[in-house]
Structure 1
Amino acid sequence: MSIVQIGLIVLVLALVVGRRLTGRPLDTRRSVVLPGVLAVYGLVTLQKAGTLTHTDQAWLAASGAVSIAFGLVRGMTVRLYERDGYLWARYRPSTLALWAASIAARFAVEAAAVASGAGRSAMTSSLMLMFGLSLAAESLVVLPRAQASGVPVMARS
């Protein structure tokens, strides 16, 4: 993984978490598009890592399952509230704790994968894909909760 990729990952994570910590109007389009873009970028990066072995594939599936599970649980912790007649979303301290736990789990899964014979390049190259999957899973929980709230979502201008 290059310095540019690491910088991009840190920047995206800081922007996503930072904006969601302060609260923001819920944007259904961004809740779908951003995870999709990250996942596609992650797939492209993973493809450039080379041919995947069966061990790589198994560990990538496990890593994906962990990322999705953390995203689903994290989605339940997002605070939805009305502000100025529109629905807003904000991360809670428990949401941040889940982010920290998911990052630790990611390192643990990668270490276990490499120790069992998976390629380090395959595992590190999948980081953006896993980030996208986690955000998509979070949105799968937040968006139905938003719809059930009955509070209007701000239209993009």
Structure 2
Amino acid sequence: MAQLAPIATAIGAGVSIFNSVQQGQAQSANAKAQASAAREQERVRAEQVTLQQSSDARAREARLAGTLASTRARLAAGGISPDEGSAAALTAGMERDAAAAQADSDQIFAARLSAGRRSLLNTDGSLTSFLRAGTTFGSTLRNLLD
């Protein structure tokens, strides 16, 4: 009967290791599925941000074109040539302001995209399960030797 105890312990250790590996594989599969879903969500979010940014840029261009046309028309109606002197400086200033606003928008866009990026330090769980299995195996081996 005493000879069956180490065999039973070894079988128990084998079953424990098998269960740990199975659990690790299931965790790994879940982690991969979660990572895939997170990548898809990130792709969709980046696409939404890109669409919003391009929509904002189009709206800003339309406002600038309307403002410039209106300003040029008012200047021309007042007898001032919109392409010369202070009128040209006014329209050039509006264009510079619009370019600066676009640059700010581009920086905000880049910041939004980078803020949503997942960290490279996030674990996917694939190594954790094998470490747990190794710990289980080590404790089982230590119990057998004691």
User: Quick check: TM above 0.5?
Assistant: no
Structure of higher CA gyration radius: 2
Structure 1 or 2: more strand by fraction: 1
Task: Name which structure has the greater RCO, CA cutoff 8 Å, separation 6+.
Answer: 2
TM-score class, shorter-chain normalisation, is 0.3 to 0.5
TM-score computed with the length of structure 2 as normaliser: 0.37
Structure 1 or 2: more helix by fraction: 2
